[in-house]
Amino acid sequence: MSRTSPDGVARTAVVVADAAAAAAAPPGVDGREYALAMAEDVLELVGDLSIVDPALLCVPRDDPAWTADVAVRSWPGTPVGEYRGQASGEAVLAAVELASAQAADAAVVVTGDAPDLPGLLLGKLLRALGSAEIACCTTGSGALVALATRLPVPVWLTPGLASFDTADALARLRAAAPDGSVVAEGPGWHRLREPADVRRLDPGLEGWDATRALLSARPT
């Protein structure tokens, strides 16, 4: 699918669905189903974005059925890629390459473990690329939630800087950039990376339906 933008800029949002997110499941919830539900919710919010094309990059780890099981939860026609390594930063750059293959002018890569992330935040990152090369949304600890970039990707953006696993991502990006002003910071958000993080979900917030349904079904 291709969505026309009034400004003529082709934008792609790529969800990185990592099977390792299963480790964040709270007690009483199957880890794999939890990771799938979170990824489904992020895919849903990305698919709902106007003038942005969705894409999916799967990181199966040692799960041979992971990519197929995530892909069926995506919107029809969504481009699907796979990264079979272990390095988070390389997975993010593989997601950027997937967006480039769709002839995108800009990409935003978002982690699959932020099921309640408002789509508005991704829109803000993409708009920031009007004056910045890179824009990012981070957690309170400084880890990346989403990374937006102009395409072609800046040559200085290495896998180490693009990693979703680093706690000081924004500071590292700004230190490595040729000029600190080329890295913009958007509003922050949270990720569900540990079992206790489930308490960050706000029942009154719209969205995250798949994750909500799975948590509601767990034994009390």
Question: Global pTM?
Answer: 0.95
| pLDDT at residue 107 in the model | 98
Structural domains in the chain, CATH included, are 11-197 (3.90.550.10)
Residue ranges in the chain whose pLDDT is less than 50: none
Instruction: Using alpha carbons, select from 195, 113, 104 the residue that is nearest to residue 146.
Output: 113
**Span 175-187, pLDDT tens digits:** 999 977 799 999 9
Give dist(CA 66, CA 69) in Å, integer. 5
| pLDDT at residue 220 in the model | 58
- In this structure, the number of other CB atoms found within 10 A of the CB of residue 140 comes to 8
| pLDDT at residue 2 in the model | 62
